[in-house]
Amino acid sequence: MNDRELELAQLLCTRLCHDLAGPVGAVAAGVELIGGDPAQADAETLSLIGNSSAAASLKLKFMRVALGASGSATGDPRALLDGYLDAVAGPGGKTAVTWPSADMLAAGVAKLGPLWVQLLLNLFLLALEVQPSCKSLSLHLDASNGLTVTIEARTTADRTMALREEILAAVDGRSGISLSARTVHSHLVGRLVRAAGGQIGISANGPVASVKVRLS
């Protein structure tokens, strides 16, 4: 492993720990409130522990497939994404997702095999990073000429998306870029797409940001 690959592994670990720190810390806080005496546990504390442990579990299931070795990338992408969105839902509510038909999803499996689920989850995660105030996600697949995967992330109508240059540079894998825990996932997605023989592009039009991948 060269220095660059070591840096990528360390940054991905940092990113994963950051994502899990919230719910795991909340579980620890709930246990501390009980103070070792179950009789001190009120309904609010038990709810905090239960909800936080569930969120940590859902995030782990998602990340195991998205960031793990491709051989472990199995499972229903719809269920995995739904669980992840449950875990990260904020005060504004859970992000809605529109999926294509099962037959269209099968086209991805036929094209990429085990890599399909992993790539799809990472593309959704990238769309959420590009559009952090996302209210709805929609997946579109076109298998008429190779396979084109498009994920649209929509926010409120009165907000225009501004693409962050650091994300674009990380996805493109531009030489000389300085990666961070905030951009390492974007870089990983770009590498996954290119490893599958594809091209990736990110664009914005008013309240909608799009992540598009073309696989020949």
Q: Give per-residue pLDDT as tens, 154-185.
A: 988 655 556 678 888 999 988 778 888 889 99
Q: Comparing C-alpha atoms, which of 207, 125, 128, 124 is closest to residue 161?
A: 207
Contacts of residue 26, Cβ cutoff 8 Å, sequence gap at least 6: 48, 49, 51, 52
Within 7-106, strands assigned E span 96-98
Q: Give per-residue pLDDT as tens, 99-128.
A: 999 988 998 888 888 889 999 999 999 999
C-alpha span between 57 and 214 (Å, rounded): 32
The answer to whether 12 and 30 are in contact (CB under 8 A) is no
Q: Comparing C-alpha atoms, which of 170, 163, 165 is closest to residue 192?
A: 170
Q: Give per-residue pLDDT as tens, 11-54.
A: 888 888 888 888 888 777 777 777 766 666 777 777 777 888 88
Task: Tell me the domains of the chain and their CATH numbers.
Answer: 3-215 (3.30.565.10)
**Whole-number pLDDT of residue 80:** 94
| Tokens linked to 106 | 């099968």
**Whole-number pLDDT of residue 72:** 58
Query: What one-character DSSP code corresponds to residue 100?
Result: -
Contacts of residue 41, Cβ cutoff 8 Å, sequence gap at least 6: 33, 34
Please report, as a single letter, which amino acid is at residue 186. S
Residue 79: CB atoms within 10 A of its CB come to 12
Confidence of residue 78 (pLDDT cuts 50, 70, 90): very high
Q: Give per-residue pLDDT as tens, 131-149.
A: 888 899 999 999 988 899 9
